[in-house]
Amino acid sequence: MSLALLLIDLQNSILTGLGAPNRQPAIDAALETVVAKLAALKHSARAAGVPAFIVQHDGAPGHRLVKRSEGWQLRREIAPEAGDVVVHKTSCDSFFETDLEARLRARGVTHIIVGGCMTQFCVDTTVRRAVSLGFDVTLISDGHTTADMGKLSFEDIVTHHNMLLDGFDAGPHEIKLVPSTETSF
């Protein structure tokens, strides 16, 4: 089994302005916590010689992640270092019309450890697709987040997806949830 760390959409404006004014501070604080956990895991992966794949969403004009804007930039805590692979996407699925699968396979990766944003869109779609492509997936249970959506709080969305995705499988491949403190390389 060859491991890789996959970090999705940890960009400056990923959650900017998506919450109601009274909820945005909690959304921002949760993002800071997730980014800190994922940055520590990225450091651990590097120390263990495990490659990091960083997915960056290229937003269309008018989008908060419009390509080359300040909001589009990757968070400094997980900024690419020598040997890291950056993959650009334009949809929720990190594999759709990207070279992510080919780059993982070129490195012999069979198991990806995943964290990032936005839980109900990019994280969910990417981990399901990864399993259907034949990868085993560890989703870091406290390593993904999102903003509120309608009447659902981000906390409820994360909890729901953790329950929903744990054990999701396609043939012999599945998603397992593990907290960041129990994630090792």
What CATH number is given to the structural domain containing 57? Answer: 3.40.50.850
Residues 141-149 have a mean pLDDT of: 98
Q: Is the pLDDT of residue 38 over 90?
A: yes
Amino acid 101: pLDDT: 98
Which amino acid does the sequence have at 37? K
d(CA 85, CA 121): 22
Residues 102-116 have a mean pLDDT of: 98
- Going by pLDDT thresholds of 50, 70 and 90, the confidence category of residue 11 is very high
Burial class (CB in 10 A: 0-12, 13-18, 19+), 48: exposed
Evaluate whether 169 touches 131 at the Cβ level (below 8 Å). yes
Residue 181, CA distances (Å) to 41, 44, 100, 158, 178 in order:
9, 12, 27, 17, 8
Residue 39, token pair as written in the block: 């940055």
Residues 86-102 have a mean pLDDT of: 98
Amino acid 40: pLDDT: 98
Residue 25: count of CB within 10 angstroms of its CB = 10
Amino acid 112: pLDDT: 98
DSSP state of 66: B
- Going by pLDDT thresholds of 50, 70 and 90, the confidence category of residue 56 is very high
Residue-wise pLDDT tens digits, 155-168? 999 999 999 999 99
Amino acid 129: pLDDT: 98
The total number of structural domains in the chain stands at: 1
Q: Is the pLDDT of residue 1 over 70?
A: no
Q: Residue 28 is part of which domain span?
A: 3-182
DSSP state of 184: -
Residues 56-71 have a mean pLDDT of: 95
Residues 130-135 have a mean pLDDT of: 98
Closest to 57 measured CA to CA, from 8, 115, 119, 125: 8
What average pLDDT does the chain have?
Answer: 97
Amino acid 19: pLDDT: 94
